[in-house]
Structure 1
């Protein structure tokens, strides 16, 4: 048994023992969960909120809870939200709209004819079928002269709508599509359509060689901004009485289309999906251990930031975070 696995097992066992211990209040259980989080060397902050009320707010290292930090691939979930807004506004006609329908100008000369048939939904669910630009291919992709063309010029390694191929290039293409149909940069969309209604700060981030803001990585949100974004989904897309994202799109986002070959979690439209304590949950996940966890039926939202320069693998630190999140759902379910 590895040291990491052994540590997770011990910590999870202690949490389960604490949750079942007679006389322990919910407040004591949340405090114990927070103390366990403090044991993780990579963690930077954690907020736990139920019904909009913060139960845990801690900075373990790094900036304040109101300072935007790099949330890495949580950006993919934010771009998914912007796709939902574009659908509500009629800028995108439907999830099954194809690249050939909505953004033919983005398709490079010489691309496989099947590229035209890739749908918005395929891009959102990581089922475009094209060779990935993430993992070992990431450096070459961002070194290319045109990130959209490079992503769409790759070979098909699966049929569109088939197996999950997690790829930042797919979300970057989607971001370019959203700019085409809306006439707004991804930064303008994020600020006007999410930042303004949620009252959260969204600073500029990385651009590609054509000046497009990167879809799928390097965006920044504060931990409190992450919580607000998660609460938006827990509240069926509404905030302060305003329907920011259509309720149907929220439901669609949390319907599994495929499954991650690494974590085993389901995947919807920009969200990893699972179940715990009889409740469905959705995760926005970024490299290093950036996480927004939403369990709508428990009215629970958790935001975690971590060192963005260290890996967080399913059999390592991310596995530890999953144990922590599942224990949070157990506490919420029993409170």
Structure 2
């Protein structure tokens, strides 16, 4: 259903060419509000996928398969790592502070025989933990860790633990030439499906009476934060696979306007899929015309 809450956002979408596909608003204890600009087809979530991979790490940690303080090289002793890379932990990968100079995203062709080998061999440009650098390489490596410690790739690992309980039926997740999901991007879901995952984070990992994600890990996603040298009005740091905003809001954010905002103080979550080249305008409209008006 659509109500007056979204009227100004819908108008702004047309006036500013925000390219929104759909918006879904969840408020605890109230019926959901949504508006469709087109059919609710599955779309590439781009970097929102990183949060799913982070959650997989949290679940695997709760099962005793790893800890986020593990060194990456301890899971792959066969790799020839660059000097200093032996200090890189899974926490560094989750917060994108590995110090690696390797820059890669899933829209780039993979020419290396093994992208993980290439990442680990890349010289460090900073001491691990001291420099935030946005890249997909670390999250791809985290996906490989899941495969190493569980025997299942990150998509298949999440199927019984997350996707099926949320009724996210058989989602596609594009893979590298070796068959491993990109993990940092290229998971495909509908707006309404992503909205269920967004609500799950709002609810500290609980869904219909079952704890799908450890509550303490959901909390640590926001509290294990790193500062950024360059931010914007809506960004106050980065946590474990999720953006942090002023006021304590959390944000999942993928290219071309895939955005999920979580406001624990209002017990509300806003989920959007889109395709636009002005994500700043879209994010501002979501904050000013939707989030700020929630009671």
Show the counterpart of 1:100: 73
Show the counterpart of 2:112: 144
Show the counterpart of 1:257: 226
Show the counterpart of 2:4: 28
Tell me how far apart the structure 2 counterparts of residues 147 and 112 of structure 1 sit (CA, whole Å): 14
Assess if the C-alpha contact under 8 Å between 1:289 and 1:304 holds in 2: yes
The offset of 1:289, in angstroms, is 0.8
Matched, 1:49 2:26: yes
Assess if the C-alpha contact under 8 Å between 1:202 and 1:221 holds in 2: no
Matched, 1:324 2:279: no
Tell me how far apart the structure 1 counterparts of residues 119 and 79 of structure 2 sit (CA, whole Å): 10
| Aligned ranges 1:191-210 → 2 under 5 Å | 191-210=159-178
Q: Which moved more, 1:82-91 or 1:182-191?
A: 182-191
Show the counterpart of 1:68: 42
The offset of 1:221, in angstroms, is 1.2
Q: Which moved more, 1:203-212 or 1:167-176?
A: 203-212
* Count of residue correspondences: 288
Q: 1:247 aligns with which of 199, 203, 215?
A: 215
Q: Deviations over 1:238-272 (max 9, x none)?
A: 00011111111011101222326254431000111
Matched, 1:126 2:96: yes
Normalization by structure 1: what TM-score?
A: 0.80
The offset of 1:162, in angstroms, is 1.1
Tell me how far apart the structure 2 counterparts of residues 299 and 127 of structure 1 sit (CA, whole Å): 30
RMSD over aligned Cα, in angstroms?
A: 2.1
Assess if the C-alpha contact under 8 Å between 1:99 and 1:120 holds in 2: yes
The offset of 1:54, in angstroms, is 4.8
Tell me how far apart the structure 1 counterparts of residues 185 and 245 of structure 2 sit (CA, whole Å): 23
Tell me how far apart the structure 2 counterparts of residues 157 and 296 of structure 1 sit (CA, whole Å): 37
- 1:165 to 1:202, Cα distance in 2 relative to 1, 3 A: farther
Assess if the C-alpha contact under 8 Å between 1:47 and 1:58 holds in 2: yes
The offset of 1:53, in angstroms, is 4.1
From the CA coordinates, give the structure whose radius of gyration is larger. 1
- 1:260 to 1:187, Cα distance in 2 relative to 1, 3 A: farther
Normalization by structure 2: what TM-score?
A: 0.90
Q: Which 5+ residue runs of structure 1 have no aligned equivalent? A: 1-26, 312-316
Q: Which 5+ residue runs of structure 2 have no aligned equivalent? A: none
Q: Deviations over 1:62-118 (max 9, x none)?
A: x32xx32111111101101111111111111x22111133x124x632x21422221
The structure richer in helix per residue is 1
Assess if the C-alpha contact under 8 Å between 2:83 and 2:123 holds in 1: no
Tell me how far apart the structure 1 counterparts of residues 19 and 111 of structure 2 sit (CA, whole Å): 29
Tell me how far apart the structure 2 counterparts of residues 80 and 260 of structure 1 sit (CA, whole Å): 23
Assess if the C-alpha contact under 8 Å between 1:133 and 1:168 holds in 2: yes
Q: 1:37 aligns with which of 13, 17, 21?
A: 13
Q: Which moved more, 1:185-194 or 1:164-173?
A: 185-194
Matched, 1:165 2:123: no
